[in-house]
Structure 1
Amino acid sequence: MPSTPRLREDGLIAAVDMGSNSFHLAVARLDHGELKLVEGMSEKVRLGGGLDDKDRLTEEAQARALACLSRFAQHLDGITPDRLRVVGTNALRVARNAPAFLKKAEKILNHPIEVIAGREEARLIYMGVAHTLASNARRLVIDIGGGSTELIIGEKFDPLLMESTYMGCVSYASRFFADGIISPKAMERAITAARHELAPLVSTYRELGWDSVVGSSGTFKAMRQVTMALGLDKGSGQLTADAVRELHRLVLRFGHVNDIVLPAIKDDRKSVLPAGLAIVIALFEELGIKAMDYSDGALREGVLHDMLGCYADEDIRDRTVQAMMSRYHVDIAQAERVATTAAQLLEQVAAILASDETGNSNLLLRAARLHEVGMAVSHTGFHKHGDYLLRYSDMAGFSQPVQEKLALLVGSHRRKIKPEQYTSIVEAGGLTLLRLCLLLRLSVLLHHSRRRDPLPAIRLRTDGLRFVLGFPPGWLSAYPLLEQDLREEVEVFASVGTALEIT
């Protein structure tokens, strides 16, 4: 689904994938709308293996990760923030001390890190495969990561069914092969656990069906390489069910991960090979897979192509917003009125608020369009319902931090801003997010009557601590309810340390 990018073609674009097993860096150049890889790096960090029994990242795991990011950072000089995206996956979704670690990591990269949800990870993986391995067939794409396994059925560039499961080669290695011993009992326990994880998905996936299967992770790459080296693929270049069964027999013979001697299997792959193999066996058996192709394209390539989409004529996030507006029966005309006014107000104060970034503008507009989604649940406290829906829905294209910001904006767009809300807003997005919240509140108030008549020319000035909202002479007095709402809003602004003057 290539489209003409608006991103300039005179520079580099980069993605960093902080996986639970490996960290990946991809640097590419735009060439007539196509991505050309300039540089790629991967390091085994085993972040997921550094989770202790309380789901906290150990100091050793953090040190490995930060050292890797320091090396990556040297290759990111000169890449502007709008052309770089850094994503974290399962280990960072699970880790209780992820926020503290992310602060240190972001300082090294001088760039925010997005911890993406499982289904969003699945969508990006599919995008990476679809752009790397062209096909018109319906495909089942599977990616075994360190802490999760994603399964996606899609056609061309469109995913049709996506799931993320809690099984990965690092987490299963810690759970079933912590002592390194490869026993038939340990393998069977790991395979059974993977089957249980897949059980709720099998009927749905089989019912939708697929024409071909593609694996996109290091686990599949390693197994394909070793089976090809041993001639188990019979010249097909595929990972077959027969080859997987034979590999299972061979691996059990070694008895311990340190004793594994197989062609194409590097030392840093040995400790997770039995766990990865157990997951592969369960996948092949439960889904009835006979043969699987391999794609080098995965999450990092998907992130790069998704960045292009964000600058092209159609952004997946806008499609997601439109779908939610339809699903929750949002009054589209009202939402667009609020969004238009929000954009006009932001434009007048963007330079002072340092909010002229496209990301902030899009965040405000999307919050404006979604501010009434909670009405589908109840008119009473609908802002709270909206907060919940945006916080916990699967929203394609949105990272977890951005979803949280959207939820906070919608949840705080009316009534008082409670101290805990203020704290959450500032922690999530600093004063910039707070000011976007205030702009959204003003925009909603200005359209509280839901009148179709256009607003007059409204002026907004600010020095960052004081907002001055100006109307044409005599106009506001003709709308006493709005005038009263704005007087009450002065108190709300004051409660968060900001003055509001109405002229």
Structure 2
Amino acid sequence: MDGTSDSDHDPMGLFGRPLFNDPKARALSRVGVVDIGSNSVRLVVFDGAARSPAYFYNEKLMCALGAGMSDTGRLNPEGRERALQALKRFQALAEGMNLPPLTVVATAAVREAEDGPDFREDVLRETGLRIWVIGGEEEARLSAQGVLLGWPGSYGLVCDIGGSSMELAEIAGGRVGRRISSNLGPLKLRDLKGGQKGREQHIKEVMDKLAEHMGAQRDRLFLVGGSWRAIARIDMYRRGYPLHVLHEYRMDKKSVSQTVKFIKSSDLEELRTACGVSSARMDLVPYAVDVLKRLVQTFKPKDIAISSYGIREGLLYEQMPQELRDRDPLIEACRFAEAKDARLPGFGKKLFRFVSPLFSKGDKARMRLIKAACLLHDVSWRAHPDYRAETCFDNATRANLGGLKHSERVFLGLALLHRYKNKREGTRFEDLEGLLSEKLTLEAEVLGKALRFGAMLWMSDASADGTALDWKPRKKLLRLKLTKASVPLYGEVAEARFLSLAASLGAETEVVIKR
């Protein structure tokens, strides 16, 4: 696979300067990225763990720069003025946040418009911002790298739809392979002559050429872009899906087919209001669903995942050293949260060793979630005691955490809920329990109660040495081994929590003091 680019050998990267001052840095200096698309102009300010950045600030304006370009060959005049005013605002915001210079990229509309160079000059003169115009294949590569930021090591086909173009790129083994750009953006399809029949025929012809270039793609299809996210919102609404987190939302060929029919048979204004989709975005959905229907029919993916990560995240990934790319985004985010917010940073590692014997048969994916829970077990301590359990649950299920399926979010949230609360009845979990099996629900409860008990043993290195849980599942025996140094920590409240953990396991208990 060809995963290289012209920027691979440039130490300053694509845009003239590095985003990461220290190639080994775990934390990310606050940086701003502006994406000028054919439909929207967006500023994102990243902060937090470099491998799993938090969105410190996120604002977009629907400018429709590419509207009407098929007829005029020029940027939409009203959209051009709105985009310029948005960029002035973004530059003022960046100065107020004391950010380093914004990185500004433009895609299909500015790339293809006759007056694209004039627009760039106006922006530079009025704001001091230099716009980097990226080609279609480069856009595909950066979007794919954004997906890799959230799903390291993923295999599949990335499809990024903008207003004026649609890009495809394959990913495998942490690298981007074949990629291609097309004119299947909804703004261009809206301007196409020939009505519905002509549009469908055009989509089929272009999609067949894309398939010929990309070859067979039978792994996961990752969907990037605002129109795909709008369709996913509608799919959630149609299904009555309880967790309104778009990142890692899954669909399959059947659900796509049902949602296409649902959209075509619905009143779009009523649907827009019910799903919280903007008017400008909803105007493009009927064209995007035709593309999605043909995309799925052509490539026949194993399953379909929505990615909230795209070009902007791809710019960060572009400048990450391989050492940083290889780290787990979930664990990195949890380590950052522990270092920033926990009362005893570093205790999560001791807690992980302490609770691990309860999960000796856990696979790598499960142990990863257990490690994440241990790192996050104390980051919400500032919340009012009556609301800590709910706060923990909400943070895990709705926070910006990469590399988590929805079921894993709920597992992690339930474990952290039980870190502060024995019972889950009457909590927000009840709305989401259908996303977790009965077996995993019990396992999350056991993990949470183990965290709840282990948190009572704020052990020094001396007392931690030899203090351990010993779980005998066949005998249903839970043994607690204490050292002389840790005995004083095992008071009445700690004992009650130990017995509660044993009850969830259906186990007898035994306490052994090591001499």
1:152 aligned partner, one-letter code: A
Q: Which moved more, 1:146-155 or 1:9-18?
A: 9-18
Is the Cα contact below 8 Å between 1:138 and 1:210 reproduced in 2? no
* TM-score (normalizing by structure 1): 0.54
Deviations 1:83-108 (A, max 9, x none): 53111000011100111111112234
Is the alpha carbon distance of 1:232 and 1:155 closer, same or farther for their aligned partners in structure 2, counting shifts above 3 Å? farther
CA–CA distance in structure 2, aligned partners of residues 312 and 228 of structure 1: 34
Is the alpha carbon distance of 1:50 and 1:82 closer, same or farther for their aligned partners in structure 2, counting shifts above 3 Å? farther
Is the Cα contact below 8 Å between 2:146 and 2:310 reproduced in 1? yes
2:280 is the alignment partner of 1:263: no
* TM-score (normalizing by structure 2): 0.53
CA–CA distance in structure 1, aligned partners of residues 34 and 322 of structure 2: 17
CA–CA distance in structure 2, aligned partners of residues 51 and 267 of structure 1: 20
Is the alpha carbon distance of 1:188 and 1:252 closer, same or farther for their aligned partners in structure 2, counting shifts above 3 Å? farther
Is the alpha carbon distance of 1:308 and 1:261 closer, same or farther for their aligned partners in structure 2, counting shifts above 3 Å? closer
Is the alpha carbon distance of 1:156 and 1:40 closer, same or farther for their aligned partners in structure 2, counting shifts above 3 Å? farther
**Alignment of structure 1 residues 72-151 onto 2, 5 Å:** 72-77=90-95, 83-132=101-150, 134-151=151-168
CA–CA distance in structure 1, aligned partners of residues 69 and 45 of structure 2: 29
Corresponding residue of 2:31: 13
Other structure's SS at 2:42 match: strand
* Cα drift, residue 116 of structure 1: 0.4
Is the alpha carbon distance of 1:66 and 1:21 closer, same or farther for their aligned partners in structure 2, counting shifts above 3 Å? same
Corresponding residue of 2:171: 154
**Alignment of structure 1 residues 5-404 onto 2, 5 Å:** 6=22, 11-29=29-47, 31=49, 35-51=53-69, 53-77=71-95, 83-132=101-150, 134-175=151-192, 186-207=195-216, 209-231=217-239, 237-254=249-266, 263-264=274-275, 265-289=277-301, 291-308=303-320
Deviations 1:144-192 (A, max 9, x none): 111111111112431011111111022212326xxxxxxxx83343232
CA–CA distance in structure 2, aligned partners of residues 55 and 138 of structure 1: 37
> What percent of counterpart residues are identical?
23
Is the alpha carbon distance of 1:190 and 1:131 closer, same or farther for their aligned partners in structure 2, counting shifts above 3 Å? same
CA–CA distance in structure 2, aligned partners of residues 271 and 81 of structure 1: 35
Deviations 1:176-221 (A, max 9, x none): 6xxxxxxxx83343232122112122144343x3421111111111
Other structure's SS at 1:75 match: helix
CA–CA distance in structure 2, aligned partners of residues 111 and 269 of structure 1: 27
* Cα drift, residue 130 of structure 1: 0.8
* Cα drift, residue 68 of structure 1: 1.7
Is the Cα contact below 8 Å between 1:12 and 1:83 reproduced in 2? no
Q: Aligned Cα RMSD in Å?
A: 3.5
Is the alpha carbon distance of 1:310 and 1:289 closer, same or farther for their aligned partners in structure 2, counting shifts above 3 Å? closer
Corresponding residue of 2:351: none
Is the Cα contact below 8 Å between 1:4 and 1:312 reproduced in 2? no
Is the alpha carbon distance of 1:284 and 1:232 closer, same or farther for their aligned partners in structure 2, counting shifts above 3 Å? farther
- Structure 1 runs not aligned, ≥5 long: 177-184, 314-503
Other structure's SS at 2:95 match: coil
Is the alpha carbon distance of 1:261 and 1:128 closer, same or farther for their aligned partners in structure 2, counting shifts above 3 Å? closer
Other structure's SS at 1:29 match: strand
Other structure's SS at 1:170 match: helix
Is the Cα contact below 8 Å between 2:35 and 2:43 reproduced in 1? yes
Is the Cα contact below 8 Å between 1:56 and 1:96 reproduced in 2? yes
Is the alpha carbon distance of 1:263 and 1:290 closer, same or farther for their aligned partners in structure 2, counting shifts above 3 Å? farther
CA–CA distance in structure 1, aligned partners of residues 62 and 31 of structure 2: 23
CA–CA distance in structure 2, aligned partners of residues 73 and 311 of structure 1: 32
Count the aligned residue pairs: 302
- Structure 2 runs not aligned, ≥5 long: 4-18, 326-515
CA–CA distance in structure 2, aligned partners of residues 157 and 123 of structure 1: 12
